[in-house]
Structure 1
Amino acid sequence: MNKATQALPLAGIRVVDYSHFLAGPYLSRCLAAMGADVIKIERPKDGDAGRAHAYFIKGQSGYFLQQNMGKKGLCINLKDPRGLEMMHKLTDAADVFVENYRPGALKKLGLGYEELSRRNPGLVYCSISAYGHTGPDAHRAGFGLIAEAKSGIMAMVGEPGSAPPLLRVSLGDMYTGIHGVAAVCAALLGRIKSGRGQHIDLSLYDCLVSMHDYAVQCYTLSGGKEIPQQTGHDMPQSTLYGVFAASDGYLVIAAQVDDAWKRFALLTGGEALALDARFHSAAGRNENRTEILAQAKAWVAGRTVAGCLAALDAIDVPSAKVQNIEEVLNDPQIQARNMVIEQDHPVLGKIRLANLPFRFSECDTSSACIAPGMGQHNREIAASVGYSAADIEAMERDGVLYAEAQP
């Protein structure tokens, strides 16, 4: 397949990324992978707070490297009038502005939506915050963990009666970031017809509440009688669907659909189980969940993970080993899908990072460009909005532009 028959879909779109940590940088990383010219704005001399986030090697943050690849770096003092003027010149010529500060913070700097859209009516301005720009909690700070706790998701995971576990992936940030990608692309498409950009107000809390595929409708349609609770390792409304312990590890089994259940029942309990009419409907299996779980647990416990998977694959019942990250990276499926990319880093040499899941038939979205050093592209970006070499040198001398030493 020829991956170069088309330009990347967002080629020609300029994005000013004034975000930090995860949700905003992930959003703009996705836009960069799809061809947008993304300018990463950082403050002297600490830069994006993500630079101080593990995992560290030789002073480099893998966290920052992963979420900021494919971007150009501008490090600028926005409290200096010259810095703010340059930022305005960038946003005047930009298509998209991404930020994830507390509502109102950028308005004080002269970078709020009203000001930037007045100067550039076509600008798509995307804000990400914990609670959004409206409502009684809009002023409150928050992170993904806060949204995960408040959203009702955390209350449904873990063992009954035990404290809910941390999810160990930044669900709130990443889910909000990818919603931002969709919203920005939709706003850019809408701009073709209207000629105007608009403000996108994304809340981590909103995004996670929208993620509920069952809990909200369960509560509302039951008149408030049903509140999903912690159930441990399976789903009471989808029997059989859960995590099971084999003799040497864990696997998941999804035999909740009628046909899959019948095959699973025949395998694990013979005709007596397969022909038991109590289990021939989803409602019947849910009503008799305890009996079914006991049968499944006993069958799995007497076998290795590999033995279980081989038997389940043979009868086309979906199943998988619970893999650790080493197993994931060595998985032939992940390797075939190019979900780990290799880049050349000036300090670290060859590095491997997680790829994005976009797959286009006519172009390749895998980024070969590493995340920028702080202020790495100051001169290039300043020149692109009309600053002379003398102007740039003066701003560097006065600390308006800052760049860390490049290796």
Structure 2
Amino acid sequence: MQALPLQGIRVIDYSHFLAGPYVGRCLAALGAEVIKVERPGTGDAGRQHAHVIDEQQSGYFLQLNMGKQGVSVDMKDPRGKDFMLKLCDSADVFIENYRPGALDKLGLGYAELSKRNPRLVYCSISAYGHTGPDAHRAGFGLIAEAKSGIMQMVGNPGEAPPLLRISLGDMYTGIHAVAAINAALLGRVNSGKGQHIDMALYDTLVSMHEYAVQCYTLSGGTVLPQQTGHDMPTSTLYGVFRANDGDLVIAAQVDDAWKRFATLLEQHGGPAGFGADTRFHSLNGRNAHRVEILTAVKAWVAARSVATVLDLLDGIDVPAAKVQRIDEVIQDPQIQARGMVMEQEHPRYGKLRLPNLPFRFSDCDTTIRQVAPDLGQHNAEVAATLGFSPAEITAMVADGVLFSK
């Protein structure tokens, strides 16, 4: 087995809640030493987020901050400021997700830290980025989802769009930040210098549009995505269907898959001649006759169980799947085989089961065994690496400059 790819890289995670902490967790899984810095008192706001165990420990925090060391520093005390600057001087990467300009007031902005540590890769994550007319505005993933055009495309026609129920903007921006940080670290090998990475949730979600933007621009502004509910009008047949005991998705939008699917329907009680109808043998033809196709397919699926439909479609190699609940996902043999629900042993709460990261390397294991830190748990250990004497550390702990609970 090889050493983890980022072994020897020190990361300062000065972020909170979701996007930034997710970046830190990913870098920790890849072998970096990640030091989570929190404010004294309540710490990261994510510590109060569901699901909360025993009214004090957040599963949200446990999931996003595993594998990290934890320090809590009072920056208002000069000793705390000195601690933070020395910590940043020792770092390869600094992660923050505050509103642009907020950390400049603390002396922790890129301009100041890079003067002290030119090799520092400094990653900022914000709603709108550090430039542009909206750079000063606060925002969350929900705001970026609404602004990006993604939310407008989902849901049923004539109804308000639903919440996506996963933090798409934060997580997608986070993994882009992981890629950018690693690229900057690689570039530093030749240049000897770090740089500022400016990630915006809004930018990231706009970049996700694989068809909406180009459909609009290349059509001269005549094609706008519309809410279509449970299928895609430009990719017939591709959507969600209700069986007599649950829901499933079917992806028969490719010509060969469609022909197999249509023939199967005809053989198992569907409309006569459905499989041989050449009107449906091209994507354009299927899209033109979408309502006729959907009417037949919906009726056919509704008369059968999910298991029956999936068994028939598996037999002809047409992609399909049940719309699963979370309990079914956790019990799914494929997820279990891939280790995507990991286990950690917590000193107070025993066995924890949390989502794993999707990294798979042939010659190293990226599974994080270390649970998320308590607030200020590693104050003394980290301070010692920065050259503070035992007496200085004891005094800072006693005075609350290094906070823990």
State TM-score, norm by structure 2.
0.98
Q: Give the counterpart letter for 1:324 in structure 2.
A: R
Superposition pairs of residues 50-65 of structure 1, within 5 angstroms: 50-58=46-54, 59-65=56-62
Tell me the residue number matched to 1:324.
325
1:167 to 164, 168, 179: 164
Q: Deviations over 1:363-389 (max 9, x none)?
A: 110100000000000000000000011
Is contact 1:247–1:305 with CA below 8 Å preserved after alignment?
yes
Tell me the residue number matched to 2:344.
343
Q: Give the counterpart letter for 2:138 in structure 1.
A: A
SS state at 2:273 partner: helix
1:128 to 125, 137, 143: 125
SS state at 2:103 partner: helix
RMSD value, Cα: 0.7
SS state at 2:396 partner: helix
Superposition pairs of residues 181-260 of structure 1, within 5 angstroms: 181-260=178-257
Is contact 1:269–1:295 with CA below 8 Å preserved after alignment?
no
Q: Deviations over 1:262-290 (max 9, x none)?
A: 00000112471222111111111111100
SS state at 1:274 partner: coil
Q: Deviations over 1:8-45 (max 9, x none)?
A: 01000000000000000001100000000000000001
1:362 to partner: Cα distance: 0.4
1:118 aligns with 2:115: yes
1:399 to partner: Cα distance: 1.2
2:23 to 27, 34, 43: 27
Moved more, 324-333 or 78-87: 78-87
Moved more, 228-237 or 77-86: 77-86
Tell me the residue number matched to 1:334.
335
1:307 aligns with 2:303: no
1:219 to partner: Cα distance: 0.6
1:347 to partner: Cα distance: 1.8
Which whole-Å CA distance do the structure 1 matches of 2:347 and 2:369 have between them? Answer: 13
1:366 aligns with 2:363: no
Which whole-Å CA distance do the structure 2 matches of 1:22 and 1:347 have between them? Answer: 24
Which whole-Å CA distance do the structure 2 matches of 1:341 and 1:351 have between them? Answer: 8
1:262 aligns with 2:262: no
The count of residues paired between Structure 1 and Structure 2 equals: 400
Tell me the residue number matched to 2:280.
279
SS state at 2:357 partner: coil
1:345 to partner: Cα distance: 1.0
Q: Deviations over 1:308-328 (max 9, x none)?
A: 000000000000000000000
SS state at 1:344 partner: strand
Which whole-Å CA distance do the structure 2 matches of 1:180 and 1:349 have between them? Answer: 32
Tell me the residue number matched to 2:142.
145
Which whole-Å CA distance do the structure 1 matches of 2:144 and 2:76 have between them? Answer: 31
SS state at 1:185 partner: helix
1:352 aligns with 2:353: yes
Which whole-Å CA distance do the structure 1 matches of 2:27 and 2:296 have between them? Answer: 48
SS state at 1:320 partner: strand
1:57 to partner: Cα distance: 1.1
Q: Give the counterpart letter for 2:297 in structure 1.
A: A
Q: Give the counterpart letter for 1:87 in structure 2.
A: M
Q: Identity across aligned pairs (percent)?
A: 72
1:133 to partner: Cα distance: 0.2
Q: Give the counterpart letter for 2:16 in structure 1.
A: H
Unaligned runs of 5+ in 2: none
Which whole-Å CA distance do the structure 1 matches of 2:57 and 2:79 have between them? Answer: 30
Tell me the residue number matched to 2:79.
82
Q: Give the counterpart letter for 1:158 in structure 2.
A: G
Q: Deviations over 1:160-219 (max 9, x none)?
A: 000100011000000000000000000000001111000000000000000000100011
1:398 aligns with 2:399: yes
Which whole-Å CA distance do the structure 1 matches of 2:209 and 2:253 have between them? Answer: 19
Q: Give the counterpart letter for 2:82 in structure 1.
A: E
Which whole-Å CA distance do the structure 1 matches of 2:99 and 2:399 have between them? Answer: 29
Which whole-Å CA distance do the structure 2 matches of 1:178 and 1:111 have between them? Answer: 23
Which whole-Å CA distance do the structure 2 matches of 1:281 and 1:215 have between them? Answer: 22
SS state at 1:290 partner: helix
Q: Deviations over 1:43-92 (max 9, x none)?
A: 00110000010111112100000000000000001121111111111111
Q: Give the counterpart letter for 1:225 in structure 2.
A: T
1:398 to partner: Cα distance: 1.4
Is contact 1:263–1:315 with CA below 8 Å preserved after alignment?
yes
Consecutive aligned runs of 4 or more in structure 1 exceeding 4 Å deviation: none
SS state at 1:105 partner: coil
State TM-score, norm by structure 1.
0.98
SS state at 1:181 partner: helix
Tell me the residue number matched to 2:70.
73
Which whole-Å CA distance do the structure 1 matches of 2:367 and 2:249 have between them? Answer: 31
2:155 to 148, 155, 158: 158
Q: Give the counterpart letter for 2:388 in structure 1.
A: Y
Which whole-Å CA distance do the structure 2 matches of 1:215 and 1:363 have between them? Answer: 39
Which whole-Å CA distance do the structure 1 matches of 2:348 and 2:57 have between them? Answer: 8
Which whole-Å CA distance do the structure 2 matches of 1:348 and 1:145 have between them? Answer: 32
Which whole-Å CA distance do the structure 2 matches of 1:81 and 1:10 have between them? Answer: 32
Q: Give the counterpart letter for 1:155 in structure 2.
A: Q
Unaligned runs of 5+ in 1: none
Q: Give the counterpart letter for 1:333 in structure 2.
A: Q
